[in-house]
Chain A
Amino acid sequence: MNFRDIGTVFWRDWIVLKRRLTKFIFSRMVAPLLYLTAFGLGLGRSVQMSSGSYLDFIVPGILALNSMNMGFHGIIPVHAERVYHKSLEEYVLSPISAESFLIGKISGAVLKSLISSAIIILFAEIFGADINLSLMLLPVLAINSIIFAEIGFFAAMKLSSYEEMAQVNTYILLPMSFLCGTFFSTAALPEILRFFVECLPLTHASLILRSLTAGEEFLPGSSAILAGYAIAGFFLSLYALKKSQDD
């Protein structure tokens, strides 16, 4: 693994993103505008919170949700590169290591996620959310994107069709979007479901982001859980990449 090789893989994703940057930014505005309008202004007016507004509550949830989606969807073009275009072969044939390739691809997904998060924060400010903008938000958003980029990468190496990739979205990402403390506290869930949901990474990303935007502490336990997911995801993705050519 070396930085030059990681940079090469990232360079490819950067020039593709750069070419579509304006379209990318506009497309990233749609979901936060809808969430903030529907949940923040619409539904939010009738929701009573013990402190702050519902808008303040859901902004970190939307940030967590967005970093999950952008991490996952930012990396899944590698599925088409492997299955349909076969352009992944170019990297497999080259002298760069599997680790460099994986880190380069994850970096591209994290960049897209952070640009998208910046758009959400900008809209949250425009909508009048009272959130504390700490620099510590950056590593949390990045690590959450990394975890879901790794899940996306693993699926892209293991699954052989678009339909199967869509099922990952349906069965993994969609339930997490609603249950993992994004739009309401997990304390409202039945105990068995709550236990399960609190094992999932998005719940911990939501908890840390909510704590930070409220100007509270960093939550080391949740951070350690996210780090554990990211490390395990890296090695599983690496394994899937190395085995992908034999399938």
Chain B
Amino acid sequence: MIEILNVMKKFKSVGKNGEKNFKTAVNDITLSIERNEIFGILGPNGAGKTTMIKMLTGQLEPTSGQIFYDGKSFDKNKSEIKKMLGVVPQHINFDRELNVEENLELHGRLYGMEKSERRSRINELLNYMELSDCKNYNVGKLSGGMKRRLLIARALIHRPQILFLDEPTVALDPQVRRKIWNLIEDLSKDGVTIVLTTHYIEEAESLCRRTAIINGGKLTATDTPKNFCDRLGRFTVDCEGTAGRSCKFFDDEDSAKNFASASGENFKVRRTNLEDVFVELTGRGSGLK
């Protein structure tokens, strides 16, 4: 459904001595995202996740490379393709001069929805997001969780086929986070393709069918969370030593237990998780098998 071919983004920057140069935020990324999957883009802060989302949604032009939606070039069919995209940004970007309902109304109008359809969809989403009671509130008066739900409601007004969520649960309490995860799963069941960026490992592990890990603007690997763990070794032995914590990975539990029992008390066996994969691929680790 989405084909990303050799996409690169460079920004102008100023060096220490005032010289002008370019900083590469996304470096030659090629990947594809299938219809109806929940696809995660995982990476540390500054890895290029948001830049990637901005290029996929038309907020930024790639310096080079191409993006295709259902085989159509995004560059040449931007207006048509944008109608099928919904975007939940990382930051709160409501129009502060408008109230809750007016923000949704503006969105519906921008996407060319007829008045009757717009009205019913706004009411439906306000109910669904439990925001009906505050439709006349100024957006500044909403709590963090309500703002986040309103951002999602706004992105869904025009019934997008693909929903981009950039760090959708950042700075939210665990209850609201769970609620948003449930919502994302419901949308996926309804046939919406979801592309989300996150640096919360648990979020990617719990929601995403496939995950791309990017670091320093480069695509490090793409796979399902389970395959990532299998490739690293399904069992991990945590080693607590004087030099700090380190891990060793094993394909089977017996090998891991044998290693731990032979090594001493400070060695614990557990299942490998996506966080281990993330650390291996973006930090000190030696990578996947």
What residues of chain A have their CB less than 8 Å away from a CB belonging to chain B? Answer: 4-5, 8, 11-12, 15-16, 77, 81, 85-87, 89-97, 245-246
Contact = CB atoms under 8 A, between A and B. Distances in A.
Interface residues of B, number: 29
A110 B26 CA distance: 41
B107 A90 contact: yes
Nearest to B83: A95
A94 B60 contact: no
A89 B95 CA distance: 10
Contact of B60 (A5, A96, A245): A245
A154 to B, nearest CB: 19
A41 B202 CA distance: 74
Contact of A89 (B59, B83, B98, B111): B59
Interface string B57-74: 111110000000000000
B17 interface: no
Contacts of A87: 93-96
28 contacts: A4-B112, A5-B112, A8-B110, A11-B106, A11-B109, A12-B98, A15-B98, A15-B102, A86-B89, A87-B94, A87-B96, A90-B106, A91-B110, A92-B58, A92-B59, A93-B59, A93-B82, A93-B87, A94-B107, A94-B110, A95-B78, A95-B80, A95-B82, A97-B79, A245-B54, A245-B59, A246-B11, A246-B60
Contacts of A15: 98, 102
A96 B98 contact: no
Contacts of B97: 16, 77
A3 to B, nearest CB: 12
B178 interface: no
B98 A86 contact: no
A195 to B, nearest CB: 37
A96 B111 CA distance: 8
A94 B82 contact: yes
